[in-house]
Amino acid sequence: MSKLSEIEILAERNPDIPIEVIVKEDLLRQGIAWSREALAFAADYKRKAYFIFSFDMVSISGMEQRENLKAPEEIRLEGGAYNFHPVVVSVRLNPDSPYRVETEGNSLVLKLGGAPIADVQLQKAPEFYNRTLSNGRLVPEIAPTIEWGYLIYLTAFRLCQYPAAGEGCLYCDINENYRQQKNAGRPYAPVKSVEEVVEALEIIASVDGESKAYTVTGGSITETLEGKSEIDFYVRYTEAIERRLPGRWISKAALQALPKDDVKRLKAAGVQIYHPNFEIWNARLFETYCPGKARHTGRDEWISRILGAADVFGAENVIPNFVAGVEMAPPAGFESVDAAIASTAEGLEFFMSRGVLPRFTTWCPEPLSALGKERRGAPLEYYIRLLRVYRDTMAKYKLPAPRGYGEPGLGRAVFSVSSFMDIL
Ligand code: SF4
């Protein structure tokens, strides 16, 4: 059976999940190959900024066309043989993917196994991508945008202290990505100063009308960084931004699950949405695949802190991320889709029944991470069923679409690393 027939059969069997969403999830789990001409075409648009992890299925050393320097941050699929509504997809490079972007005349098209599927649109680099700070660094080095320009992504610390201590999450390549980018000559610095972040945002605020939210995030600080604990280090960014540009954007912070007093400091600084990312619901897999978090905080305490944060922020403003699909990663993951979905459904039920709104990023098996070496993501069927159980559990508890992601709904959503907003 051809790859395209597989997609068509899945779409037929799952009429409640639009075919463009099925293709989006497949692109996120398998990555995208680019023809030489398509890459040359894309180089004139907003390029991949490598804003935290690699989110690629091949390391830079394996990119024969130097895709890391030319590929776009995201693509938007539209029209084509199946009359797609627009869906925005993060670009995960994989020269071996069955999906390939090629040129056709003066435009781009996505093909699967050689068959055209949809037109590909790219986003122009915003004007501020060419602007520099007073220290000579380019604005996108400090404050790139993703989600089609909606979200400014502020990775204040590009490394994580868990992998440095041999306890990194097994699906994560943050420190390895830092090393490969530095070796490839990208101007990465481990820490962004508060001053340069504020200066970059001042420039963006003066010229940009697209961005509506920013996220302050970075690697975990288990000891200290520059003499500061995790809360002391990260809270300064929001404080400074909100002092200088109060309420200009929806303010989000993606940090560890912190004790309640620290969470109150985030709130006092101006954070509106808190992402204490949970990653994997199953207790055994949380212990195995997130060894640092399990040892340092522990799963029960992590859950208790999420619920404590809901008291501070309001439950709907606490949005823990799950890495969708990693619970099926060998060697310890679930072997059946049924078991994996049952486990994550339990996690969704637990949080959503309390008003907390989890969300997903589709796992990208990065070869520089411990679990990504074989580049074997979860089956596509898993993602289809996960979206369904997510949407149905949201409906069961009458929960609103998560705030800080733009508009929900097919054709309108911009969240690019999973489809949870496309199906609401
Ligand atoms: S806490 Fe885990 S997922 Fe987050 S940056 Fe560190 S190693 Fe990666």
CB-ligand 1 contact for 172 (6 Å cutoff):
yes
Q: State which residues of the chain have pLDDT below 50.
A: none
| Joined tokens for residue 200 | 């970059």
HEC-encoded secondary structure of 32-48: EEECHHHHHHHCCCCEC
CB-ligand 1 contact for 160 (6 Å cutoff):
yes
CB-ligand 1 contact for 93 (6 Å cutoff):
no
Q: Which atom of ligand 1 is nearest to the CA of 323?
A: 3
Neighbouring-strand partners of residue 218: 157
Give, using CA atoms, the residue closest to atom 1 of ligand 1.
220
pLDDT at 23: 98
> What CA–CA distance (Å, rounded) separates 54 from 339?
29
> What CA–CA distance (Å, rounded) separates 107 from 72?
14
pLDDT at 50: 97
- Ligand 1 centroid from CA 337, angstroms: 25
CB-ligand 1 contact for 221 (6 Å cutoff):
no
Q: How far is CA 206 from CA 193, 200, 390, 420, in A?
A: 20, 10, 38, 32
> What CA–CA distance (Å, rounded) separates 43 from 318?
37
| Joined tokens for residue 410 | 């097919």
Q: What Rg value do the Cα atoms of the chain yield, rounded?
A: 20
Which value, to the nearest 10 degrees, does the dihedral of the CA atoms of residues 305, 310, 315, 321 take? -30
Neighbouring-strand partners of residue 322: 279, 360
Q: What phi, psi does 261 have (nearest 5°)?
A: -65, -35
> What CA–CA distance (Å, rounded) separates 345 from 138?
43
pTM of the entire predicted model: 0.97
CB-ligand 1 contact for 302 (6 Å cutoff):
no
| Joined tokens for residue 132 | 């520099």
pLDDT at 51: 96
Give pLDDT tens digits for 44-87: 999 999 999 999 999 999 999 999 999 999 999 999 999 999 99
pLDDT at 140: 97
- Ligand 1 centroid from CA 307, angstroms: 21
| Joined tokens for residue 302 | 């992590």
